[in-house]
Structure 1
Amino acid sequence: MSVPGNINPAPPPSSFDSDPDFFEESRWVKFKRRLIEEPLIPLGCALTCWALYEATKSIKSGDKYKTNRMFRRRIYAQGLTILAVVGGSMYWDKDRDKRKEYNGLTAEKDRKEKLDAWLKELEARAEEEEELQKLRSKITKGQAEERRRLTESKKKAAEARLSEVKCVAEPGDLRNDGPILSELRRLWQGRR
């Protein structure tokens, strides 16, 4: 996918980038949502705790009548809580199913959009890589062409220098006893 010497340092695209729904909702947010959906359950729990607290106080003070009354209220509060749980469960069951279905469809749609965006990003990066590869090959070809031209120009310059050098001895002057030949022999032997 990547060519050595890649100019594009960006990390590959992720389908989970900047997706707040990818992370779970916190406990506090879930508690608030459930409190709004089913307010009778926390109310029943609070009444049960209040009845137990009052029963404890009346036990310490020795008031048996108030203790029995508070234990009865605790039972009523627990019954209210259980009824709220069962009733809320039945009431919200269809709504939860619809919400799950809707959330599933929405999630599927979002997933498809993210996948499409991710694929487009990958295609764009592949095109960038191809363009970079073409640019690299063009630069490499240009450098090779420049080296070839430089080599040819050096050859031509060398040939031009060789053609400028004139022969010291003309072919007609190469006689055994010619003055040029004897002069060359003396130069060669270092006598002069």
Structure 2
Amino acid sequence: MPAPDDPMMPSSFEGNEEFYETSRTTKLFRRIKEEPLIPIGMALTCWALYRASRSIRAGNDRDYTNKMFRRRIYAQAFTVAAMVGGSYYYADEHRARKNLENKVAEQKAKEKNRAWIKELEAREDERVELEKLAKGAK
């Protein structure tokens, strides 16, 4: 057991890789930075829909309401175009990231398998030692 003043005190999160991996919010903000046009398009769509619904509730002129609904459609088209364009533009980067994630997952699986085999070997050695002790005691 390490001394209390040892800077490398064990953590309750040791061995928990999920704790150290990126969180959902980190991933969300990374994606927003990568493709900023999508959230902008979503915000414009929500704004136009909000203004149209306010106009309907207030009973204002139909022209303004229709204008807001057209803006909503344009904003949705812009968002879809941004999604398609971003998927083409970042396709190589996403593919490289996916390959890296697959390699990391594969390596983790191999390490887990090695640890499992090591544990089985240790148990087998323990069993053999107990059998030797049992035979020696007879």
For the criterion TM > 0.5, the same-fold answer is yes
Specify which structure has the bigger relative contact order, considering alpha-carbon pairs within 8 angstroms and separated by 6 or more residues.
1
> Could you tell me which residue of structure 2 aligns to residue 40 of structure 1?
37
TM-score between the two structures when normalised by the length of structure 2: 0.70
> Could you tell me which residue of structure 1 aligns to residue 10 of structure 2?
none
> Could you tell me which residue of structure 2 aligns to residue 63 of structure 1?
61
**For the pair shown, which has the larger CA radius of gyration, 1 or 2?**
1
1:110-163 deviation per Cα after TM superposition (whole angstroms, max 9, x unaligned): 222221222112111111111111111112x2xxxxxxxxxxxxxxxxxxxxxx
> Could you tell me which residue of structure 2 aligns to residue 101 of structure 1?
99
Letter of the structure 1 residue corresponding to residue 128 of structure 2 = E
> Could you tell me which residue of structure 2 aligns to residue 83 of structure 1?
81
State the percentage of identical aligned residues.
Answer: 52
CA distance in 1 between counterparts of 2:94 and 2:16 reads 23
Letter of the structure 2 residue corresponding to residue 64 of structure 1 = R
Name the SS for the 2:90 alignment partner. helix
> Could you tell me which residue of structure 1 aligns to residue 130 of structure 2?
132
CA distance in 2 between counterparts of 1:65 and 1:138 reads 99
The count of residues paired between Structure 1 and Structure 2 equals: 120
CA distance in 2 between counterparts of 1:126 and 1:37 reads 52
Unaligned runs of 5+ in 2: 1-14
CA distance in 2 between counterparts of 1:76 and 1:42 reads 15
1:154-173 residue pairs with structure 2 within 5 A?
none
Letter of the structure 2 residue corresponding to residue 131 of structure 1 = E
Please report the RMSD computed on the Cα atoms of aligned residues, expressed in angstroms. 2.6
